[in-house]
Amino acid sequence: MTYKILIADKLGNAGLERLSQMSDVAYDLRTGLSKEALLEAIADYDAVIVRSDTFIDADVIAAGKRLKVIGRAGIGVDNIDVPAATAHGVMVMNTPHSNSVATAEQTFTLLLATSRRTVPAHNSLAAGQWERSRFVGTELYGKTLGIIGFGYIGRLVARRAQAFGMNVVAYDPYVPTETAIELEVELLPLDELLAASDLITLHAIVTPETKGIINAATIAQMKDGVIIVNVARGKLIDEQALAEALQSGKVAAAGLDVYQEEPPAGSPLIGLPNVIHTPHLGASTQEAQKNVGIEIVEQIAEALRGVAYRNVLNPLGG
Ligand code: MLT
């Protein structure tokens, strides 16, 4: 029996090589398919692998007559209609840990770069200036870091923050107090975290509870001059409210890797002098891409063979 896998978004070579070594699997790498082309193609495959570019919606799932598994090479499944997959008995799986270190390190890139004003200082020097007194920054040492969303990545960020001598507090109603105590992190209600934090970093998924969690009302509860970093999902932030707070100086700076719309055409945040933005690069390290590629193809092959079902996000019952 040969299982057929469609790879609809770019996948690291290591993952493709691993697939080539599997005698019971054949794959096609077909990136950039239009919705029509995807609807036609999907009928031939037992599994499809995506990153974040291809949308696997209810129509695509319904057209996948032999589809058994949808694999997300990465964490967020915003581009997959998970309830529709569940309704059709199709597994959805991701690779929740393989790119977490990359994301935690990108968080620190932005925490440090916003605190030390690295990008404006670079631009000034590149433009021929030598403005040492203009770019006096602030230290992470001794500051309070508020982590919203204290899952795997939030905890990696906490550990790194502690190494910098930061005091770490977190908001996550789903994490037991004992876990936080073990990690020497104080769990706080959201309003207390907002009031206590010098820097705030987001590591939550988007749910009805977290969508727009950074908005005019929550920003008003923060310290003046707070720094906000988002390497999770753009929809956690009301962009207009954040842009106004950055313009007024209520928020001193923001480090943003993700946006409501990607690419962020028309976002009021793009180009503000106190914003450092990167184009959704949290997971974009060679190591992370190698790891997610290998992990997703192995998980899918195991599931198709009925050997193991790792990191399945939807309960299929029966
Ligand atoms: C993820 O959800 O894994 C990251 O945001 C990276 C990506 O979209 O590939």
- Residues in contact with 133: Cβ distance below 8 Å, sequence separation at least 6, in sequence order: none
Mean pLDDT of 178-182: 96
Residues above pLDDT 70, as percent of the chain: 99
Predicted pLDDT at 15: 97
- Measured in Å, residue 93 CA sits from the centre of ligand 1 at 13
State the distance from the centre of ligand 1 to the C-alpha of 262, rounded, in angstroms.
12
Residue 192: what pLDDT?
98
Ligand 1 pocket: which of 256, 280, 281, 296 to mutate (most atoms <8 Å of CB)? 280
Name the band, by pLDDT with cuts 50, 70 and 90, for residue 315. confident
Q: Which residues have any ligand 1 atom within 6 Å of their CB?
A: 51-52, 74-76, 99, 282-283
Report which protein residue has its CA nearest ligand 1's atom 5. Answer: 76
Residue 318 predicted with pLDDT over 70: no
CA-94 nearest atom, ligand 1:
3
**What pLDDT does 317 receive?**
64
In the predicted structure, residue 242 carries a pLDDT above the cut 70: yes
Q: Which of 9, 99, 278 to mutate for ligand 1's pocket (most ligand atoms within 8 Å of CB)?
A: 99
Strand intervals (E) in 39-165: 47-50, 69-72, 91-94, 144-148
The helix/strand/coil state of 143 is: coil
**In this predicted model, what pLDDT tens digit does every residue of 296-309 receive, in sequence order?**
999 999 999 999 99
pLDDT of residue 78: 93
52 alpha carbon – ligand 1 mean position (Å)? 7
| Atom of ligand 1 minimally distant from the CA of 103 | 4
The two tokens of residue 149 are: 């969303």
Q: Check if CATH label 3.40.50.720 holds for domain 3-97+286-305.
A: yes
Contact yes or no for 144/161 (Cβ under 8 A): no
Atom of ligand 1 nearest to the CA of 52: 8
The total number of residues shown for the chain amounts to 318
Q: Which of 10, 50, 75 to mutate to test the pocket of ligand 1 (most atoms within 8 A of CB)?
A: 75
Q: Is the separation of the CB atoms in 66 and 301 below 8 Å? A: no
CATH class of this structure's domain 100-277: alpha beta
Chain segment 273-283, per-residue pLDDT in tens: 999 999 999 99
Q: Give the pLDDT of residue 149.
A: 98
Edge to edge, the sheet with strand 251-256 lists 186-187, 167-171, 144-148, 199-202, 226-230, 251-256, 275-277
Over residues 153-174, mean pLDDT: 98
- Residue 137, pLDDT > 70, answer yes
How many angstroms separate the alpha carbon of residue 32 from the centre of ligand 1? 17
Q: Look at residues 255, 300, 291 and name the one whose alpha carbon lies nearest to residue 99.
A: 291
Q: What is the model's pTM? A: 0.94
Indicate the pLDDT class of residue 67, thresholds 50, 70 and 90: very high
Nearest CA-CA partner of 170 in 139, 159, 102, 241: 159
Nearest residue CA, atom 8 of ligand 1?
52
When pLDDT is averaged across residues 55-82 and rounded to a whole number, the result is 97
- Going from the C-alpha of 151 to that of each of 30, 37, 157, 176, 294, the distances in angstroms are 33, 37, 10, 11, 23
Using the predicted structure, report yes or no on whether residue 316 has a pLDDT greater than 90. no
Q: Which pLDDT score is estimated for 1?
A: 87
The full set of domain ranges for the chain reads 3-97+286-305, 100-277
How far does the centroid of ligand 1 lie from the alpha carbon of residue 74, in Å?
5
- Ligand 1 atom nearest residue 78's Cα: 2
Give the integer Cα–Cα distance in Å for 137 and 115: 6
Residue whose CA is at the smallest distance from ligand 1 atom 6: 283
Catalytic residue positions?
233, 262, 280
Ligand 1 center to residue 75 CA distance, Å?
A: 5
> Same topology for domains 3-97+286-305 and 100-277, yes or no?
yes
Q: What is the mean pLDDT of residues 48-56?
A: 96
Percent of the chain surpassing pLDDT 90? 98
The pLDDT score that the predictor gives to residue 251 is 99
Quick one: tokens of 316?
């299929």
Q: Which atom of ligand 1 is nearest to the CA of 74?
A: 3
Average pLDDT, the chain: 97
